Amino acid sequence: MNFFRRTLLPFAAVLLVGVAVAQTPPRPSPVPRPVVPDAPVPPPPDVDGKSWVLMDYATGQILASKEPDVRVEPASITKIMTDYVVSAEVANGKVHMTDPVTVSENAWRSGGGGTDGSTSFLKLNSQVPLQDLLKGMIIQSGNDAAIALAEHTAGSESAFAGLMNAYAKQLGMVNSNFENASGYPIANHYTTAHDIAILSRALIHDFPDDYAISAIKQFEWNGIKQGNRNTLLWRDPSVDGIKTGHTAAAGYCLAASAKQGESRMIAIVMGASSEKARADSAMALLSYGFRFYETHKLYDASKPLATPRLWKGETNQLPLGVADNVLVTVKRGEYDQLKATMDIPATLIAPFKKGQQVGTLRITLAGQPVQSVPLIAMNDAPQGGFFSRLWDSILLWFHSSKGNTEQAPGAK
Q: What angle do CA 335, 337, 342 make, to 5 degrees?
A: 100
Choice among 51, 120, 141, 263 that is catalytic: 141
Q: Per-residue b/e over 339-370, b at no fewer than 16 CB within 10 Å?
A: bbbbbbebebbbebeeeeebbebbbbbeeeeb
Query: Is 79 tagged catalytic?
Result: yes
Pairwise CA distance, residues 357 & 352, whole Å = 9
Active site residue 76: yes
> Of 50, 51, 65, 76, which is the active-site residue?
76
Report the C-alpha gap between 394 and 403 in whole angstroms. 15
Active-site residue, from 79, 135, 243, 312: 79
Residues 48, 278: contact at Cβ < 8 Å?
yes
Q: Indicate the residue type of 123.
A: K
75-104 as b/e: b if 16+ CB within 10 A: bbbbbbbbbbbbbbbbeeeebeeebebebb
Count Cα atoms within 13 angstroms, Cβ side, for 402: 20
Q: Are 81 and 167 in contact (CB under 8 A)?
A: yes
CA distance 237 to 212: 14
d(CA 216, CA 213): 6
Q: Residue 169: CB partners within 8 Å, gap ≥ 6? A: none
Helices vs. strands in the chain: H and E counts, helices first:
12, 19
Q: What one-letter code names the amino acid at 363?
A: I
Residues that are catalytic: 76, 79, 141
